[in-house]
Amino acid sequence: MKVYLDNSATTRPDDQVIQTMSLSMSNHYFNPSALYPPAVEVDQMMAECRRNIQRILNSPGQVIFTSSGTEADNLAILGTVKNNHQHGRILHSAGEHAAVLESCKYLSESGYDVESIPLKRDGQIDMIKYEKLLTENTQLISIMQINNETGAVSPISQISKLRDAICPDAHLHVDGVQGFLRHDCNAFDLGIDSYALSAHKFHGPKGIGALWISDRVTMSALIRGGGQENGIRSGTQNTSGIAGMNRAIEIYPRINNMRNMKLRLYRHLLIKIPELIINGSDPEAITSADHILNISLPPVRSETMLNALAAVNVYVGNGSACSSKKRQSSHVLKAMKTNQNIIDSAIRLSLNPNITEMQIDYAVECIADIYKKFKPFVRR
Amino acid sequence: MQELLMVRYGEIYLKGLNRPYFQNLLLARIKSALNNLTSKVTLHDSRIYIRDMKDSAACLHAVQRVFGVHSICPAIEMDKEDFAAVCEQAFQLMSGLSGGFKVFARRADKRYELDSPQICAAIGEYVLKRNKDLHVDVKNPEHKLNIEIRDKAYLYINVFAGPGGMPIGSNGKATLLLSGGIDSPVAGYMIAKRGVALSAVHFYSFPYTGERAKQKVLKLAQLLAAYCGELRLFLVPFTEIQMSIHEKCPADYTTLIMRRFMMKIAEIIAKDEKSQALITGESIGQVASQTMRSLACTDAVVTLPVFRPVIGFDKIDIISYAKNIGTFATSSLPYEDCCTVFTPKHPQTQPKIEAVEEAELFIDNIEDLINQAVQNSELIQL
């Protein structure tokens, strides 16, 4: 049996997505900016994808296609700040993805006032600290909807309300790469100004993402050229990628069994391994995402567990896939003041809507067996 | 007229009656390195000539990695009797250049009409008259125009250094303990450079080390193979041995006992491979298992000589060497290797051989474990 539990790193593109993309490449390859009818059809397909994203976010506004979630985050942060011509404060949570952290670091090095909002031990944003850091001149706040390592669900509504009270003009950017389709997000009602998403996280293709922006936002381009995407993101659009993303959005089963499967995974693991450590909120709580469970099984190091699981066809993550080639501790777990031995043994199990009970049970058996076998071998 | 690569060899010149053996071995190594790039490689008049190249840059790059090569010159070969044409070709070679230049002539054919100073003067004058951007600078020239008169005339400006050393195979074979770190590839390179053919042994500890650690070692072996030609890499499963040591032996001796196991296994493979020595990347005092007493304890379990070419190097010097030979970036990838998996907090640094042997007695099936590891090793031919 093969069990893929690294869906927060990437997902398998759905067969329908692959077919749609293949058809798009062979038959609908036209440049959407051209004037003849087949090109207009491609343009219409893109418009449909934009509408679908607006529908999921339950909000009007603009959808800008990008090459990835990382590009969407960069565009939201750098494009907004560049457009503001002022040096107001920039806030981000300490647990943000590198796409946000590195963009903010770049701004900090360019002289901007950038502050990081600490996390609590359960991975949630420290709202008291957040309130203290909010100033009247804050120009941008960047928060992820769901943390990619711990699955912590951010209180966007509270964050937005405080923003409205203290600095109503501040741009609220939400990195929705782990949240889009998997958790509801009514961008309009929540007062979100921009929202980043990436297709390969919900069974779409790699190389395509999008940034939704509200009607009140004006933004500067980071990539200039032919003026596509209302001049905000030039370059001929990745039409087959957009077609694939559109199909992935249409067929994603929004009512699914992921939460139950995650809780099954958690509860069964807890029975087999009572000393199991959860990194993040209580998996039963609503502040824990439906599809991510981050656990530590010290003294078995994550690399050991991951290798041993791979040998029995169970694939899990050791934190964020983007940084797993570097030997460095998770910045998210560090921000949660997690002990180093717990960080060293952290593994992330992330689900998709198609995961079965049998697969979950197999993964639990394997994890428990490996833990039992390697637990005695600790550095003396 | 023909473009070619003219290859010079270094230490082989010092050989006496057996020089042809070394020359022919070097010729074979160059042919092997050039593989599909050209088949026309000849030895003549103390030079090796590479002709009919599909891609001269690729040929140059390949020959720059052949041990025994002193230098390589991309040259133009032409009829030496038509001296006017030689002068004109010299001018063409220097066209577009500016600054000081000097002509160097070497007249291997002593019957040639002009002697070396006359050749220099005539060609220098010809070039100087036609290229107004050049001037003669005999003390510190920016450009060195070389003319060699052999059975033909050879003209060249650029001289690219080869790696030096001796052709692989001219000094037997040895087996390298290749860890995946920075030191062992350097050690392997240094011994291979002296003409020693290599095989390599790598110990892995699945699941403590994984697929990426294995790929890293394969990459390092490939990098070494680019210099030393064929390389047989043995991947030895080591987890069970490490777990036995960890379970049964006193903690402070575990690293040393592990090293002794590695040496024993490497020697069995080395003897099978007809190797005459083992090579390790150890350097005195770098870690606990590399103090002189520790090294004596590991040497005690083998009969083959153990070569440690970086024994007196500081880490920074080894890093610098690794950067030069192109292995540093791969060695620095962060995947765990088996040596670091069970490192005790306080390893013995001044072990006594009797105490190590006593500590080893806690494992009652040493021979079985060793034989099993050897039997289960995987051979990868690079």
CATH code of residue B194: 3.40.50.620
Q: What confidence score (pLDDT) does residue B343 get? A: 75
Q: What confidence score (pLDDT) does residue A379 get? A: 64
The separation between the first and the last C-alpha atoms of chain B, rounded to the nearest angstrom, is 38
Q: What confidence score (pLDDT) does residue A234 get? A: 96
3-state secondary structure of B324: helix
State the Cα angle at B354 between B352 and B357, rounded to 5°: 110
Region B88-108 average pLDDT: 90
Contact B243 A308 (CB under 8 A): no
* Same domain, yes or no: A208 and A298: no
For A274-284, what is each residue's pLDDT tens digit? 999 999 999 99
* Same domain, yes or no: B192 and B140: no
Q: What confidence score (pLDDT) does residue A226 get? A: 92
Residue B382 buriedness (CB in 10 A; 0-12 / 13-18 / 19+): middle
HSE (side-chain half, CA atoms, 13 Å) at B124: 19
* Same domain, yes or no: B126 and B209: no
* Same domain, yes or no: A101 and A141: yes
pLDDT at A256 over 60: yes
Contact A308 B345 (CB under 8 A): no
* Same domain, yes or no: A170 and A32: yes
Q: What confidence score (pLDDT) does residue A94 get? A: 97
* Same domain, yes or no: B211 and B351: yes
Mean pLDDT, all residues of chain B: 89
Q: What confidence score (pLDDT) does residue A324 get? A: 45
Contact A379 B243 (CB under 8 A): no
Q: What confidence score (pLDDT) does residue A321 get? A: 42
Q: What confidence score (pLDDT) does residue B4 get? A: 92
Strands laid side by side in the B232-237 sheet: B306-307, B278-279, B173-177, B197-204, B232-237, B378-381
Residue to mutate among A314, A315, A377, with most B CBs inside 10 A, is A377
User: Of A221, A251, A281, at which residue does a domain stop?
Assistant: A251
Contact A377 B344 (CB under 8 A): no
Q: What confidence score (pLDDT) does residue A342 get? A: 92
Q: What confidence score (pLDDT) does residue A39 get? A: 94
Instruction: Tell whether B207 is covered by a domain.
Output: yes
Helix runs in A196-301, H state only? 239-251, 258-272
For the record, the structure tokens of B283 come out as 């350097």
Q: What confidence score (pLDDT) does residue A357 get? A: 97
Rounded to an integer, what distance in angstroms lies between the CA atom of residue A162 and that of residue A184?
21
User: Of B133, B161, B189, at which residue does a domain stop?
Assistant: B161
Instruction: Tell whether A165 is covered by a domain.
Output: yes
User: Of A251, A276, A303, at which residue does a domain stop?
Assistant: A251
Length of chain A (residues): 380
Rounded to an integer, what distance in angstroms lies between the CA atom of residue B318 and that of residue A201?
44
Rounded to an integer, what distance in angstroms lies between the CA atom of residue B70 and that of residue B64?
9
Domain total in chain B: 2
Q: What confidence score (pLDDT) does residue B249 get? A: 87
Q: What confidence score (pLDDT) does residue B358 get? A: 86
* Same domain, yes or no: B82 and B216: no
* Same domain, yes or no: B12 and B87: yes
For A297-350, what is each residue's pLDDT tens digit? 999 999 999 999 999 999 999 854 444 455 678 899 999 999 998 999 999 999
% of chain B surpassing 90 pLDDT: 49
For the record, the structure tokens of B324 come out as 């030069």
- pLDDT bin (cut points 50, 70, 90) of residue B336 is low
CATH number, domain containing residue A300: 3.90.1150.10
Instruction: Tell whether B209 is covered by a domain.
Output: yes
* Same domain, yes or no: A115 and A191: yes
* Same domain, yes or no: B77 and B148: yes
* Same domain, yes or no: B240 and B337: yes
For A118-151, what is each residue's pLDDT tens digit? 999 999 999 999 999 999 999 999 999 999 999 9
Low-confidence winner among A26-30, A237-241, A357-361, B329-333 (lowest mean pLDDT): B329-333
Instruction: Tell whether B39 is covered by a domain.
Output: yes
Contact A306 B334 (CB under 8 A): no
pLDDT at B199 over 90: yes
* Same domain, yes or no: B124 and B180: no
CATH number, domain containing residue A165: 3.40.640.10
Instruction: Tell whether A380 is covered by a domain.
Output: no
Question: Whose CA is closest to A8, among A78, A97, A81, A76?
Answer: A97
Q: What confidence score (pLDDT) does residue A364 get? A: 98
Instruction: Tell whether A285 is covered by a domain.
Output: yes
* Same domain, yes or no: B115 and B30: yes
Instruction: Tell whether A67 is covered by a domain.
Output: yes
Question: Whose CA is closest to B280, among B363, B207, B203?
Answer: B203
CB contact, 8 Å: B346 with chain A? no
Contact B207 A380 (CB under 8 A): no
- Hunting for tokens 């000081």 — which residue is that? B100
Q: What confidence score (pLDDT) does residue A115 get? A: 96
State the Cα angle at B354 between B350 and B360, rounded to 5°: 95
* Same domain, yes or no: A242 and A324: no
User: Of A222, A251, A280, at which residue does a domain stop?
Assistant: A251
Q: What confidence score (pLDDT) does residue B294 get? A: 85
Residue B157's domain comprises 2-161
* Same domain, yes or no: A225 and A301: no
B334 CB neighbours in chain A (<8 A) are 325-327
Contact A374 B206 (CB under 8 A): no
Rounded to an integer, what distance in angstroms lies between the CA atom of residue B47 and that of residue B42?
8
Cis bond upstream, residue B207 (ω within 30): yes
CB contact, 8 Å: B246 with chain A? yes
* Same domain, yes or no: B143 and B181: no
Number of H helices, E strands in chain B: 14, 15
3-state secondary structure of A99: helix
Low-confidence winner among B65-79, B176-190, B258-272, B343-357 (lowest mean pLDDT): B343-357
Region A214-236 average pLDDT: 93
User: Of B128, B161, B194, at which residue does a domain stop?
Assistant: B161
Region B351-358 average pLDDT: 84
For residue B40, the cross-strand partners are B51
- pLDDT bin (cut points 50, 70, 90) of residue B288 is confident
Q: Are A163 and A191 in contact (CB under 8 A)?
A: yes
Instruction: Tell whether B146 is covered by a domain.
Output: yes
B192 C-beta neighbours (distance < 10 Å), count: 26
Q: What confidence score (pLDDT) does residue A64 get? A: 97
- pLDDT bin (cut points 50, 70, 90) of residue B210 is confident
Instruction: Tell whether B347 is covered by a domain.
Output: yes
* Same domain, yes or no: B294 and B150: no
Instruction: Tell whether A131 is covered by a domain.
Output: yes
- pLDDT bin (cut points 50, 70, 90) of residue A4 is very high
Question: Whose CA is closest to B281, among B189, B360, B183?
Answer: B183
For the record, the structure tokens of B130 come out as 């036609």
The separation between the first and the last C-alpha atoms of chain A, rounded to the nearest angstrom, is 36
For A37-71, what is each residue's pLDDT tens digit? 999 999 999 999 999 999 999 999 999 999 999 99
Q: What confidence score (pLDDT) does residue B341 get? A: 65
Instruction: Tell whether B285 is covered by a domain.
Output: yes
- pLDDT bin (cut points 50, 70, 90) of residue A106 is very high
pLDDT at B51 over 60: yes
Q: Which residue of chain B comes nearest to A380, CA vs CA?
A: B344
Q: Which residue of chain A comes nearest to B208, CA vs CA?
A: A304
Chain B, window 252-291: residues with a beta carbon less than 8 angstroms from a chain A beta carbon: 254
Instruction: Tell whether B112 is covered by a domain.
Output: yes
pLDDT at B325 over 80: yes
B212 CB neighbours in chain A (<8 A) are 325
Q: Are A177 and A194 in contact (CB under 8 A)?
A: no
B246 CB neighbours in chain A (<8 A) are 377, 380
Region A98-122 average pLDDT: 95
What lies within 8 Å, CB to CB, of A91 at 6+ separation is: A114, A115, A116, A117, A130, A133, A134, A138, A140, A141, A142
- pLDDT bin (cut points 50, 70, 90) of residue A292 is very high
Rounded to an integer, what distance in angstroms lies between the CA atom of residue A65 and that of residue B332?
37
- pLDDT bin (cut points 50, 70, 90) of residue B353 is confident
For A190-216, what is each residue's pLDDT tens digit? 999 999 999 999 999 999 999 999 999
* Same domain, yes or no: B7 and B130: yes
Domain total in chain A: 2
- pLDDT bin (cut points 50, 70, 90) of residue A376 is confident
Q: Which residue of chain A comes nearest to B342, CA vs CA?
A: A379
State the Cα angle at A305 between A348 and A14, rounded to 5°: 50
Nearest to A379 among B210, B335, B343 (CB): B343
* Same domain, yes or no: A70 and A206: yes
* Same domain, yes or no: A61 and A194: yes
User: Of B161, B185, B210, at which residue does a domain stop?
Assistant: B161
* Same domain, yes or no: A110 and A225: yes
Region A216-232 average pLDDT: 92
Q: Are A87 and A57 in contact (CB under 8 A)?
A: no
Structure-model confidence comparison of residues A50 and B52, the more confident one: A50
Instruction: Tell whether B167 is covered by a domain.
Output: no
Q: What confidence score (pLDDT) does residue A326 get? A: 54
For B151-161, what is each residue's pLDDT tens digit? 899 999 999 99
Q: How far are the Cα atoms of B179, B203, B350 from residue B347, in angstroms, in the given order?
A: 19, 20, 9
Q: What confidence score (pLDDT) does residue A323 get? A: 44
3-state secondary structure of A358: helix
Contact B210 A310 (CB under 8 A): yes
A-to-B residue pairs, Cβ atoms closer than 8 angstroms: 44
Mean pLDDT, all residues of chain A: 94
State the Cα angle at A227 between A223 and A230, rounded to 5°: 100
The question of whether A322 is a catalytic residue gets the answer yes
State the Cα angle at A213 between A220 and A62, rounded to 5°: 95
Instruction: Tell whether A262 is covered by a domain.
Output: yes
Nearest to A327 among B334, B343, B345 (CB): B334
Residue A344's domain comprises 3-11+255-374
CB contact, 8 Å: B219 with chain A? no
Q: How far are the Cα atoms of A129, A162, B122 from residue B289, in angstroms, in the given order?
A: 49, 59, 65
Within B64-193, strands assigned E span 69-78, 99-107, 134-136, 143-149, 153-156, 160-161, 173-177
* Same domain, yes or no: A235 and A305: no
* Same domain, yes or no: A141 and A273: no
Question: Whose CA is closest to B259, among B356, B336, B181?
Answer: B356
- pLDDT bin (cut points 50, 70, 90) of residue B293 is confident
Q: Are A234 and A223 in contact (CB under 8 A)?
A: yes
Nearest to A377 among B212, B246, B343 (CB): B246
pLDDT at B250 over 90: no
Q: What confidence score (pLDDT) does residue A320 get? A: 43
* Same domain, yes or no: A45 and A190: yes
